[in-house]
Amino acid sequence: MEAFPEWGRLVKVLRGKDQGGCAVIIGIVDDRFVLIADGNKHRFDGPKKKSLLHLELLPVVSSEVADSMRETGRVTNAKLRFAIQKYNERKGE
Q: What is the pLDDT of residue 3?
A: 77
Residue 68, burial from CB neighbour count under 10 angstroms (0-12, 13-18, 19+): buried
Per the confidence metrics, is the pTM higher than 0.85?
A: yes
Q: What is the pLDDT of residue 31?
A: 94
List of domains in the chain:
9-92 (2.30.30.140)
- State which residues of the chain have pLDDT below 50: none
Q: What is the pLDDT of residue 1?
A: 52
Residues 65 and 47 sit within 8 Å (Cβ to Cβ): no
* Model pLDDT for residues 56-80, shown as the tens digit of each residue: 999 999 999 999 999 999 999 999 9
